[in-house]
Amino acid sequence: MSAKTGSVTIDGNTVELPVKSGTIGPDVIDIGKLYAQTGAFTYDPGFTSTASCESAITYIDGDEGILLHRGYPIEQLAEHGDFLETCYLLLYGELPTSAQKQDFDYRVQRHTMVHEQMARFFQGFRRDAHPMAVMVGSVGALAAFYHDSTDITDERQRMIASMRMIAKVPTLAAMAYKYTIGQPFVYPKNSLDYTSNFLNMCFAVPCEEYKINPVLARALDRIFILHADHEQNASTSTVRLAGSSGANPFACIAAGIACLWGPAHGGANEAALKMLAEIGSVERIPEYIAKAKDKNDPFRLMGFGHRVYKNYDPRAKIMQKTCHEVLAELGVKDDPLLEVAMELERIALHDEYFISKKLYPNVDFYSGITLKAMGFPTSMFTVLFAVARTVGWIAQWKEMIEDPTQKIGRPRQLYTGEPSRDFVPVSKR
Ligand code: SDX
């Protein structure tokens, strides 16, 4: 079968461009030689129609609401697996055998401590610093403590840095939380599984034994799975771009955390809960629906809409189920925020504006209610997203580094500024 091609004609000059097909999903037009052949760039702010790379890690079908990690549907991973198993899958491409899983879990568990000097690093922050600001600083600072795994050309160092981040980011996240509430840091416990250990580091205090609630630990582990990776989202693209210059992995992940913080991205879970609290009651929902529709009002329904999903975000369905499980386990009845969220979802899903623009709840819509019920403050919601997404960022960064065709990312632009002009001395301005 002859190779697929597309063609572009500019000022009568037609060029043929190769079309590449993936395993599933849309074809891509390889425009690598477009500028050389036509003198024109493509233009796609926000990359709505642009593939930035080739990847084999995650696939999303936005129209069908499908999310696959290395081919496995998110629903099956969330139902039958655990978070570290998903980490292994994202990093190595296959589900681990029992022996591989045991070895991987053991290696992660024995990298959870951070250099003791990092505890003093935290002292530099104000107690009321936003935990995401602390995370950007402390994860970036890992490069200062673990310089022996920053040579990205060395496969062994790449894997050590990867394991260190998967293992240490939860410890730093728990330390960021403890620091802001003025409680002492809690060391990781290797006798606990990954997520129970995180809960213990967040909620244990020296004066009494902290009892892990297995239902909550399982729920949070599932929430981590839901947030692990998601194709070339803004923060992953940030990590890839930072990594394309050869920056060390700790700095790249810190850049990803900074990007994730934005309310249009990972910060939406914090913003969604604040929005639900601001709406406050079912009676006020119509007022906010009207604001969301008003072109002159910058207000958007946080936790709604998605660049890729034009159907229900499959993670949101699992998130909603987990939310009900957690509230039931905690005996939280008639949570006003949940009541507002469910009524808001019901109204929005029947409203022409949201239907026509294919706006559905995304992963951030129900996560805030769940995390708040578990005892996390709103300011920690995006931190938890970062804990989970660290493995996705690392898997995508590794894939890029190991791609022989990769080069430094350097987009061009459409220049609309002043043409060349001569300097005017200040006496003549
Ligand atoms: C995440 O990319 C990923 O995969 C991200 C993520 C991941 O796992 O990494 O899934 C995580 O970031 C989820 C998204 C969380 N963000 C929010 O919930 C914030 C609220 N959502 C919006 O800001 C928005 O929907 C985005 C940012 C998520 C997507 O924006 P797009 O794709 O650029 O869409 P758009 O802004 O062009 O909106 C299309 C239309 C617009 O109206 P028109 O200009 O066509 O008239 O829909 C409207 C928008 O005004 N719209 C909304 C809306 N989202 C879009 N209107 C009201 N409320 C909203 N939430």
User: Does ligand 1 come within 6 angstroms of the Cβ of 326?
Assistant: no
Q: Evaluate: CB of 362 within 6 angstroms of ligand 1.
A: yes
Assess whether the C-beta atom of 367 lies below 6 angstroms from ligand 1. no
Is residue 364 part of the annotated active site? The answer reads yes
Which residue puts its alpha carbon closest to atom 4 of ligand 1? 233
Picking from 244, 237, 272, 230, the residue whose alpha carbon sits closest to that of residue 258 is 237
CA distance 34 to 36: 6
Token couple for 293:
């529709």
- Distance between CA atoms of residues 219 and 374, nearest Å: 10
Determine the length of the chain.
Answer: 429
**Residue 306 is among the residues annotated as catalytic for this protein:** yes
Catalytic residue among 265, 306, 324, 403: 306
Ligand 1 neighbourhood includes 143 CB (under 6 angstroms): no
Distance from the alpha carbon of residue 303 to the mean position of ligand 1, in angstroms? 9
d(CA 332, CA 327): 5
User: How far is ligand 1, taken at its centre, from the CA of residue 307, in Å?
Assistant: 6
HSE-CB at 16 with a 13 A cutoff on CA atoms is 4
Alpha helices, DSSP H, located in 60-193: 74-80, 83-92, 98-109, 117-122, 131-145, 155-181
Residue nearest to atom 34 of ligand 1 (CA): 307
Token pair of 24 as six digits: 């599933």
**Ligand 1 lined by 357 (C-beta under 6 Å):** yes
Please report, for residues 156, 217, 391, 400, the alpha-carbon distance to residue 397 in angstroms, rounded to integers and kept in the order given. 15, 28, 10, 5
The secondary structure of 274-305 as a DSSP string is: HHHHHH-SGGGHHHHHHHHH-TT-----TTB-
DSSP for residue 9: E
**Does any ligand 1 atom lie closer than 6 A to the CB of residue 304?**
yes
| pLDDT at residue 149, rounded to an integer | 86
CB atoms inside a 10 Å sphere around CB 347: 15
Q: Whose CA is nearest to atom 30 of ligand 1?
A: 307
pLDDT of residue 50: 97
Q: Is the C-beta atom of 290 inside 6 A of ligand 1?
A: no
Q: Whose CA is nearest to atom 18 of ligand 1?
A: 303
Which residue lies with its CA nearest to atom 13 of ligand 1?
265
Mean pLDDT per segment of 10 residues, for the chain of length 429 residues?
87 95 97 95 96 97 96 98 98 98 97 95 94 97 91 92 97 98 96 97 96 97 98 98 97 98 95 94 95 94 93 93 94 89 91 92 92 96 98 98 94 97 98
Q: Which residue has the CA at smallest separation from atom 51 of ligand 1?
A: 305
**What's the pLDDT at 1?**
58
Q: Write out the DSSP string of 159-227.
A: HHHHHHHHHHHHHHHHHHHHHHHTPPP----TTS-HHHHHHHHHH-BTTBPPPP-HHHHHHHHHHHHHT
Among residues 82, 229, 313, 364, the one annotated as catalytic is 364
CA distances from 105 to 81, 343, 365, 401 (A): 13, 41, 31, 24
Cα 252 from Cα 270, distance rounded (Å): 23
Among 270, 307, 345, 364, residue to substitute to test ligand 1 (most atoms within 8 Å of Cβ): 307
How far is residue 139's CA from residue 110's CA, in Å, rounded to a whole number?
A: 18
Q: What is the pLDDT of residue 311?
A: 87
Ligand 1 contacts CB of residue 83 (under 6 A): no
CA distance 297 to 279: 16
Q: Does the beta carbon of 274 sit less than 6 angstroms from any atom of ligand 1?
A: no
